[in-house]
A = this chain, B = another copy of it.
């Protein structure tokens, strides 16, 4: 049997997303439950894949199937595509499995040509509408299907408006529109090198192909990359009979969310424009009206709409994002989908749905995208500073968050500045898909036009990026690169502003921020999370400040405390340098004695914050060269204070230089050469732990030996550390619990984990270095090619951000299995940066790790990801 490539809306349902795309599946579902959906059919995602497999051509049997379904649609509606009496008009829309706002292209009013436009005018008795539709169609078709740039058409429009002194498109007369249509056709011919196609079937095939092609346009690829959507899903194409929101003042079109997507409040939230087509709302060119005003204009339609939104939310058990059109007072639903929302809204909606018994706690937990929590965990403006701040404008609070940065007026400049380490606010009249990269790299986005559902707003919320949209109080001059405020303040490119996406306020200059709190529904949800979570979450923290933030966010211990960061502090570094440059062991011991006192205090403070929670301390890791100065002045000073020749110091520094320091004399290799360094550190840890134990709580430090690749390294150093610890405890007259383990970050450590486990109380996977060595990438250098690797689809994700389960993951699996074979109770954790990345956390859960460890601000994300992993695994 042949594959079925096309489904009528009445043949599908909402479970068929992978075949029909999200839009198509939901159109079918709404048709099934009797909602007013204009009839049509969906060409499947398999047809798209077939198109690419056949060297970008639509095969004969698919064309036949399209014609068959079109004929059915025509028979059903008693209209005919391009007919001179009853012309059928259709829309052609993409619909992939995952919603990809603004990424894919739509063509409305397909079927219009010089003949059917006359019939449309006659049938609707609205010649103006007919020609307005025709000129829109030519413009969209040329742009979307044939790649003719939009501005070429807009120039014509603007010229005619200017000549006639019109302000709005609505002022255009029928004659103006007929004129425009002719001029548009000329542009088409000039640009495409052929006549504008009058054959509607040809229009249709070109449009379908355009949708297929758009699956692989650069912005779609970028969006998929940003959102981790596989490239081989393909897009479906929805062919639907047109309804018109632009048939005069009893028609309109709009978008609504069943709840507030920004706050989660259970109140219809939406906008509409009368006498407009959908594109006018989404593009944000005209600022639309609030949905509540529809009640006054068309109360019956409004009530019907409310009824439908309730049906949809109950049916889908989630907040819906609905597109609708009113054609001459008749309401049509064109699309529904689970609405994108801020993290705050996501949490509030999930908690409310649990309270209303619509979903259970597990479902609520699964509803939250872990990465989205990031929005809630970052600082907001400090109350005090806010009072003194200079408000320069207020826009729409489109995506919450607080951001300060230098203003840039185009993506290119914004990207450059961000890559130079600047904090950037991207300021645009309105954003378009071309701005995606600039938005990703900016701290926040400010637009002058567009509503809460404009491109900027929707995309920023998806990214969890602070955004103030539709800020009409400011004039944005993209050409001269400046903002002018109501009171004539001028802000030039590179100057600082601050924006608050939760309030819509825009401030001059920088404003202090405070850190986030877990409270209200968020706190509630985090409690539920901990009910279902059965993997611990720790934090990477090298100082009491970070440790305290992490504890507030629910960290259950420290998974990685890097001692070298303490060495870099201003009062320490001269002593560290003395130690390194010592010519003899006895000289070195003098410097180490000084460092002992400092390190002990560091550990005391961290233990005080962490109390009885486990603290895993990694002994010195970087190559010694990293601590040495390159600046001549500092070298001179050092020489003076150490009373040695400058040239001796320089020689020593150059001796310590390495070709590949990443693979050099570092980690435990240092301790084989200079055991006294680790002895000092072990002593400092134990002295600090005993001090705390004597004063208040019992602490059990975990001492971690880095960079072990061969069991004998660990055995040698472990013996050294244990001897030091036991001697210290004897001296201090108190015994405490402690463990000694190792970081697993060298491929060979994974391969010989059975041997290494015998000498280790715990393993902590250092996935940063493990990724470097498994791929043979230096993180410091890989930037030179990783971008191209992702552009060319050689790597789907940056392996330094998302754990490479296929390669690095196999080593972790081996190490886990081998170590458990010889020591079933060995404690296993991860402390690389992947410990806070949701898919990597899930992997760690599946591997049976005891904990993940991540930066303080990612602790709640890791907790959520861990809970989701538990729930998924239980299913």
Contact = CB atoms under 8 A, between A and B. Distances in A.
Interface of A: 658-665, 669, 672-673, 707, 709-710, 712-713, 716, 745-748, 751-752, 769, 772-778, 780-782, 784-785, 788-789, 792-795, 804, 806-808, 810-811
B747 A811 contact: yes
A774 B794 contact: no
B709 A663 contact: no
A744 to B, nearest CB: 12
Contact of A716 (B661, B774, B776, B792): B792
A427 to B, nearest CB: 31
Contacts of A793: 712
Q: Which of A663, A672, A775 has the most CB of B within 10 A?
A: A663
A778 B707 contact: no
Given A659-B778, A663-B773, A752-B810, 4 more contacts: A664-B784, A673-B788, A709-B777, A747-B811
Identify which of A707, A804, A807 gathers the most chain B CB atoms within 10 Å of its CB.
A807
Number of copies: 2
A793 B773 CA distance: 25
B795 A710 contact: yes
21 contacts: A658-B780, A659-B780, A660-B661, A660-B663, A663-B772, A663-B777, A663-B778, A664-B781, A664-B782, A672-B785, A672-B792, A710-B775, A713-B794, A747-B747, A747-B773, A748-B774, A748-B775, A751-B806, A752-B806, A769-B776, A773-B776
Nearest to A809: B751
B810 A751 contact: yes
A782 B669 CA distance: 10
A760 B617 CA distance: 45
A774 B746 CA distance: 7
B792 A774 contact: no
Given A774-B747, A811-B751, A658 B781 contact: yes
A528 to B, nearest CB: 38
Given A659-B661, A776-B769, A777-B663, A672 B709 contact: no
A712 B807 contact: no
A471 to B, nearest CB: 40
A789 B713 CA distance: 9
B784 A665 contact: yes
B659 A716 contact: no
Nearest to A665: B784
A39 B774 CA distance: 61
Contacts of A772: 663
Contacts of A752: 806-807, 810
A709 B810 contact: no
A781 to B, nearest CB: 4
B747 A709 contact: no
A393 to B, nearest CB: 42
A746 B658 CA distance: 21
A776 B807 contact: no
Most buried by B among A662, A748, A774, A811: A748
Given A794-B713, A795-B710, A672 B789 contact: yes
A778 B661 CA distance: 8
Interface centre among A662, A751, A792, A806 (most CB of B within 10 A): A751
Contacts of A747: 747, 773-774, 776, 807, 811
A350 B669 CA distance: 46
A776 B709 contact: yes
Contacts of A777: 663, 709
A781 B709 contact: no
Contacts of A748: 774-776, 804, 807-808
Contacts of A795: 710, 712
Contacts of A808: 748
Nearest to A709: B775
Contacts of A807: 709-710, 747-748, 751-752
A794 B660 contact: no
B663 A785 contact: no
A785 B664 CA distance: 9
Nearest to A669: B785
